Structure 1
Amino acid sequence: MPGVVRWIMRIVIAGASGLIGTDVSAALRHAGHDVVALVRRAPRAASEVRWDPAAGSLDPHVLAAADAVINLSGAGIGDRPWTRRRIDELFTTRLAATRTLTSAMGKLDNPPSMFLSQSASGYYGDAGTARLREDSSSGSGVLSRLCVEWEAAAHEAPSGVRVVTPRTGVVLSRSGGAMGRLLPLLRLGLGGPLGHGTQYWPWITLPDVTAAFTFLLTSGLQGPVNVCAPEEADVNSLMAALAAALHRPGVLRVPAFALRLVMGKLADELLLPSQRMEPGLLSEAGFRWRHPSLSQAAAWVAAKD
């Protein structure tokens, strides 16, 4: 639009190849921002820079001209069974990546003004029906401890850097993530509620996650921010809405004991806990959701365009 000056930012992203990272990177580039992706392999484009978070290796000058850094790096939570070795990997990959970034910032006279470092709704553990705002206490499980340490590592950023740790809920997408496993079953009429189904899942669509992260870059908010839709839903409601949008029954309940038998500790940490999370700060700051209701979200997930 003539006469409108847009602020073009240089943004460095770690974990740009994941579900959220891919969508966020594409949206930021589409908006005209300069996006640099940190990769652990040989760079394939001018927009990529190699780093080695396991060794704490990153040239600080990569961040010198950046306005913001987005940290989405870490091993997938639900990708593999939770052996002791895998749990250690979940911690080490996240903490090493986060500390590599904050250490590099600390070596600069003028570090990036903003650091958005991912966290998760798992911070709250199994909280039953309690309403969870950003000032609610952390839980006691493995995921809770992981999120607490992950957020603490982000706050090792130099003084003056605005740190935001978005506690993201279950991301509804058309492929990839949790939906990548559930949607094929629902489309076949084989999916349904997990466990008793009355546990609350804080949910949000992928486009709204990307919009929320973009909003957080310039909103002025800092610290933990709950990233989920404003409409709460338990698993029974969530699965029913998705099944209805796909025109499938979605009534084949998977009992808790079966989930534990197949997934072990992961079931109790990821699928069965209840988190009645509210996006308090996002709402108060004026963020607008594209899919604020479960019916809108389910319709988007089920659409093919």
Structure 2
Amino acid sequence: MRIVITGASGNVGTALLGRLSESGHELVGVVRRPPDPVGVYARVRWHEQDLAAPNAGAALRQVFDGADAVIHLAWGFQPTRNTEYLTRVGVGGTSAVLTAAHAASVGHLVHMSSVGTYAPGRYGERVDESWPTTGVRTSPYSRDKSAAEELLDEYEQRHGSDGVTIARMRPGFIVQRAAASGLMRYALPGYVPMLVVPLLPVLPLDRQLCIPLIHASDVADAMVRVVERRAQGPFNLAGEPPLGRDDVADVLGAKAVHLPSGVLGPLVDLSWRARLQPIDRGWLDMAFSVPLLDCGRAAAELDWRPRWSSVDALRDVIAGVAEQAHTESPPLRRRSLLEQLQRDLTKGLLTTRHLP
């Protein structure tokens, strides 16, 4: 098969390439910054393309020509102070991918959605794929994931069985050891070394925290099964059991202290507005709003079950933080504290520049 993967050098993309590298498939990657051809990135033909660019649709049409399947992973998490650009990457990029896939007569499109596409209302309870996908209104990430799924809905209503077959992956929060440096760069201010995270003595967090978490390799495994079966429709994906605050504290070896989300929310918002840290309040609102995931459909139709528990997945990424684990991919590679501060001074803060 010829498989085109947008965002192939990111967190999930790297895990997916590891899963596909020995498969014999022809792999094509579409990214903003192609990685050096080493490791899992070596057997991929790379195309440089920003999906937010006006010419993205036309450029993708050429790349998609002859593809049996397109796996659309590309998304933006920063800059949180430029949500218009993030929407162009996420929603506009999905529109460009969908238009190009249809024009190139691609047989199968696998779209990376998220638990963030789901509406609030069942926090701490499980929902299946029929739960409303209207998102969490206070989270720009969630709004864009919901809007991207609306595009897929409109396409399927317009073209029916004559259009591209579409599958939608709706995983919980995705982690892995190899992505530790990249994930911490998104989450920590440039002046804070990531090595402090495993050393935290106290974890001030609401005791009600209960979220779906999943290891990237389990997401990759589900995607391969979807492509092999040419499955369609939405699939929830999550590790078991759901991750709670005390689980996080145990993994960190920290003392859990109850800090209500109603107090933590304004603190996150104020520190973000003061440019002290890069995570906007929408991420916290989403963590305390999204439901848990019933993964019965993936088990029944894909014969899929997570190999990693949610706690072991968290343990894996925290071990990666302690080791400063990374890959040679631009989004995931390790940057020193000095390099991060230099980029903040010369290229703008992480929350404002297009390339993190």
Classify the TM-score, shorter chain.
Answer: 0.7 to 0.9
- The Cα shift of 1:303 comes to 5.4
Query: Which of 219, 224, 247 is the aligned partner of 2:234?
Result: 224
Question: Partner letter of residue 149 of structure 1?
Answer: A
Query: Which of 13, 38, 44 is the aligned partner of 2:5?
Result: 13
In 2, Cα distance between the equivalents of 1:237 and 1:215? 33
The structure-2 alpha-carbon separation of the partners of 1:176 and 1:226, relative to structure 1 and needing over 3 Å to count, comes to: farther
- The answer on whether the counterparts of 1:12 and 1:70 sit within 8 Å (CA) in structure 2 is yes
Give deviations 1:197-247, integer Å, cap 9, x for gaps: 31321110121121122122123432221121242233x14313422xxxx
Query: Hey, what does 1:106 align to over in structure 2?
Result: 102
In 2, Cα distance between the equivalents of 1:44 and 1:177? 16
Q: CA RMSD in A?
A: 3.0
Alignment of 1:171 with 2:188, yes or no, is no
Q: How does 1:69-218 map to 2 (within 5 A)?
A: 69-76=70-77, 79-81=78-80, 83=81, 86-108=82-104, 111-127=105-121, 128-138=123-133, 139-141=135-137, 142=139, 143-155=141-153, 156=155, 159-174=162-177, 175-176=180-181, 178=183, 181=187, 184-190=195-201, 192=203, 194=205, 196-218=206-228
- The Cα shift of 1:11 comes to 0.7
- The answer on whether the counterparts of 2:167 and 2:232 sit within 8 Å (CA) in structure 1 is yes
In 2, Cα distance between the equivalents of 1:59 and 1:303? 37
Give deviations 1:103-161, integer Å, cap 9, x for gaps: 222223xx222101111111124332332211012344144432221113245376342
Question: Partner letter of residue 213 of structure 1?
Answer: M
- 2:106 alignment partner, SS class: coil
Give deviations 1:246-284, integer Å, cap 9, x for gaps: xx2243566514233324533443443342222221122
Unaligned runs of 5+ in 1: 1-8
Alignment of 1:251 with 2:295, yes or no, is no
- The answer on whether the counterparts of 1:164 and 1:224 sit within 8 Å (CA) in structure 2 is yes
In 2, Cα distance between the equivalents of 1:228 and 1:297? 11
Q: How does 1:229-240 map to 2 (within 5 A)?
A: 229-234=239-244, 236-240=245-249
More moved, 274-283 vs 185-194: 185-194
- The answer on whether the counterparts of 1:230 and 1:279 sit within 8 Å (CA) in structure 2 is no
TM-score normalised over the length of structure 1: 0.79
Of Structure 1 and Structure 2, which has the larger fraction of its residues in helix?
2
Query: Hey, what does 1:49 align to over in structure 2?
Result: 47
Query: Which of 251, 261, 270 is the aligned partner of 1:242?
Result: 251
- The answer on whether the counterparts of 2:115 and 2:290 sit within 8 Å (CA) in structure 1 is no
In 1, Cα distance between the equivalents of 2:120 and 2:207? 14
- The Cα shift of 1:295 comes to 4.3
Question: Partner letter of residue 128 of structure 2?
Answer: R
- How many residues matched? 283
Q: How does 1:250-269 map to 2 (within 5 A)?
A: 250-251=255-256, 256=264, 257-263=266-272, 264-269=280-285
In 1, Cα distance between the equivalents of 2:183 and 2:317? 12
- 2:211 alignment partner, SS class: coil
The structure-2 alpha-carbon separation of the partners of 1:188 and 1:42, relative to structure 1 and needing over 3 Å to count, comes to: closer
In 1, Cα distance between the equivalents of 2:143 and 2:318? 35
In 2, Cα distance between the equivalents of 1:120 and 1:96? 17
- The answer on whether the counterparts of 2:70 and 2:101 sit within 8 Å (CA) in structure 1 is no
The structure-2 alpha-carbon separation of the partners of 1:191 and 1:116, relative to structure 1 and needing over 3 Å to count, comes to: farther
- The answer on whether the counterparts of 2:238 and 2:306 sit within 8 Å (CA) in structure 1 is no
